[in-house]
Amino acid sequence: MKEDIVDPVLEIHDLTVSYSRKPVLWDIDFSLPKGCIAGIIGPNGAGKSTLIKTIMGVIPSSSGYIKIFDQTLNAVRSRVSYVPQRESVDWDFPASVLDVVLMGRYGKLGLFKNTNKQDKRIALECLEKVGLQDYTKRQISQLSGGQQQRVFLARALAQEADLYLMDEPFAGVDAATEKAIIEILREMANKNKTIIVVHHDLQSVVNYFDWVILINMRLVASGPTQKVFNNKLIQEAYGGKLTLLTEIGNILEERQIPPREK
Amino acid sequence: MIAFWIILTGSLVAISCGLLGSFLILRKMSMIGDAISHAVLPGIVIAFLLSGNREPLSMLLGAGFFGLLSTFIIEYLHQKAKLQTDAAIGVTFTLLFAVGIILISVFTGKVDIDQDCVLYGEIAYVPIDLWILDDGTIMGPRPIYILSTVLVLIVLFITIGYKHLKIGTFDPAFATAIGIPTVLWHYLLMGAVSITTVASFESVGSILVVAFLIGPPATAYLLTDDLKKMLIITCILGVLISFFGYWLAYWLNASIAGCMTVLLGVFFTIVFIFAPNTGILAKKLKSNKNAISI
Q: What is the residue-wise DSSP string for chain B?
A: -HHHHHHHHHHHHHHHHHHHHHHHHHTT-HHHHHHHHHHTHHHHHHHHHHHSS--HHHHHHHHHHHHHHHHHHHHHHHHTS---HHHHHHHHHHHHHHHHHHHHHHTTTT----HHHHHH--GGGGGGSEEE-TT--EEEEHHHHHHHHHHHHHHHHHHHHHHHHHHHHH-HHHHHHTT--HHHHHHHHHHHHHHHHHHHHHHHHHHHHHHHHHHHHHHHHHH-S-HHHHHHHHHHHHHHHHHHHHHHHHHHT--HHHHHHHHHHHHHHHHHHH-TTTSHHHHHHHHHHHHHH-
pLDDT of residue B171: 93
Q: With contact defined as beta carbons under 8 Å apart, do B212 and B218 qualify?
A: no
Binary contact (A74, B178; C-beta < 8 A): no
In this prediction, what percent of chain A has a pLDDT beyond 70?
90
Closest CA to A161 of B288, B57, B174, B218: B174
pLDDT of residue B161: 92
Region of poorest pLDDT, from A83-92, A168-177, A196-205, B201-210 = B201-210
CA distance A202 to chain B (A): 27
Q: Which of B28, B173, B230 sits opposite A84 (nearest CB)?
A: B173
Which residues are CB-contacts of B223 (< 8 A; sequence separation ≥ 6)? B230, B233, B271, B275, B276, B278
pLDDT of residue B291: 67
pLDDT of residue A246: 55
pLDDT of residue B45: 84
- Which residue in chain B is spatially nearest to A50 when comparing CA positions? B173
pLDDT tier at A262, thresholds 50, 70, 90: very low
Evaluate the CA torsion angle A55, A61, A64, A70 in order and state its sign. positive
Binary contact (B170, A77; C-beta < 8 A): no
Mean pLDDT (chain A) is 85
Mean pLDDT, rounded, for A180-187: 91
Which comes out higher in pLDDT, residue A172 or B219? B219
3-state secondary structure of A162: coil
The distance of Cα A201 from the centroid of its chain, to the nearest Å, equals 13
What is A10-229's CATH superfamily?
A: P-loop containing nucleotide triphosphate hydrolases (3.40.50.300)
**A159 neighbourhood in chain B, CB within 8 Å:** 178
The yes-or-no verdict on residue A248 having pLDDT over 70 is no
In this prediction, what percent of chain A has a pLDDT beyond 90?
33
pLDDT tier at A252, thresholds 50, 70, 90: low
Distance CA B276, CA B274 (A): 6
pLDDT of residue A260: 55
Q: With contact defined as beta carbons under 8 Å apart, do A219 and A2 qualify?
A: yes
Binary contact (B227, A90; C-beta < 8 A): no
Which comes out higher in pLDDT, residue A34 or B115? A34
Torsion on CA atoms B113, B116, B121, B127, rounded to nearest 10: -70
Would you put residue A10 in left (φ > 0), alpha (ψ -120 to 50) or beta?
beta
**Other beta carbons within 10 Å of A109:** 15
Distance CA A41, CA A26 (A): 16
Evaluate the CA torsion angle B143, B146, B152, B156 in order and state its sign. negative
Q: Distances from the Cα of A185 to the Cαs of A64, A194, B112, in angstroms?
A: 29, 9, 67
Would you put residue B224 in left (φ > 0), alpha (ψ -120 to 50) or beta?
beta
Q: Which helix (H) or strand (E) element contains residue A10? A: strand A10-19
The length of chain B, given as a count of residues: 294
Q: With contact defined as beta carbons under 8 Å apart, do A172 and A94 qualify?
A: no
Binary contact (A58, B226; C-beta < 8 A): no
Backbone φ and ψ for A218, nearest 5 degrees, come out as -110, 165
Q: With contact defined as beta carbons under 8 Å apart, do A200 and A41 qualify?
A: yes
**A114 neighbourhood in chain B, CB within 8 Å:** 163
Q: How many Cβ contacts (< 8 angstroms) between chains A and B?
A: 78
**B177 neighbourhood in chain A, CB within 8 Å:** 56-58, 80, 82, 84
| B169 at interface of A, judged by CB pairs closer than 8 A | yes
Binary contact (A58, B173; C-beta < 8 A): yes
pLDDT of residue B101: 85
The yes-or-no verdict on residue A159 having pLDDT over 50 is yes
Binary contact (B227, A99; C-beta < 8 A): yes
Region of poorest pLDDT, from A5-19, A82-96, A179-193, B3-17 = A5-19
Which parts of chain B sit beneath pLDDT 50?
none
Distance CA A147, CA A113 (A): 29
| B232 at interface of A, judged by CB pairs closer than 8 A | no
CA atoms within 13 Å, Cβ hemisphere of A4: 4
| B170 at interface of A, judged by CB pairs closer than 8 A | yes
Q: Which of A58, A77, A103 sits opposite B167 (nearest CB)?
A: A103
Please write the tens of the pLDDT for every residue from A99-109.
Answer: 999 999 988 88
pLDDT of residue A158: 92
Q: Which of A58, A82, A96 sits opposite B226 (nearest CB)?
A: A96
- Which residue in chain B is spatially nearest to A75 when comparing CA positions? B179
Domains of chain B: 2-293 (1.10.3470.10)
pLDDT of residue B213: 92
| B230 at interface of A, judged by CB pairs closer than 8 A | yes
pLDDT of residue B154: 95
The yes-or-no verdict on residue A166 having pLDDT over 70 is yes
pLDDT of residue A261: 46
Mean pLDDT, rounded, for A56-68: 88
Which comes out higher in pLDDT, residue B26 or A238? B26
The yes-or-no verdict on residue A227 having pLDDT over 60 is yes
